[in-house]
Amino acid sequence: MRIPVVTITDDRRAAPPPPGLSDILWALASPRDGIEHIHVAPAPGRALITYFLRAADDHTALGTARLVTDRAISHSPALRGWRRL
């Protein structure tokens, strides 16, 4: 089990991320991503996303977490204006 953390931000506003962010991430994850659990810690203008996933090493785990996050940002209208740090 690997536990990478990804931060997303929206510099244009100080609002927290949309409700249901973890549901958005789950909806755009695939079984091959190996995700077991997603935890979102929202804050004004940002969110820390912690992934618990199966991966061979830390580098692969972080790559998968970034890929899923980027997929959500690019496909979800609720995340328009958000970006991954």
Beta-sheet strand order (sheet of 35-43): 35-43, 46-53, 5-9, 83-84
| Domain chopping of the chain, boundaries | 5-84
User: Which of the following CATH numbers is that of domain 5-84: 3.60.21, 3.40.1340, 3.30.70, 1.25.40?
Assistant: 3.30.70
**SS3 letters across 14-72:** CCCCCCCHHHHHHHHCCHHHCEEEEEEEEECCEEEEEEEECCCCHHHHHHHHHHHHHHH
pLDDT score for 27: 96
| pTM, two decimal places | 0.94
On whether the CB atoms of residues 68 and 23 are closer than 8 A, the answer is no
pLDDT score for 57: 97
Q: Could you give the CA distance from residue 71 to residue 75 in angstroms, rounded to a whole number?
A: 6
pLDDT score for 76: 96
pLDDT score for 14: 82
pLDDT score for 15: 84
Residue ranges of the chain whose pLDDT lies below 70: none
> Alpha carbon 75 to chain centroid distance?
12
pLDDT score for 1: 95
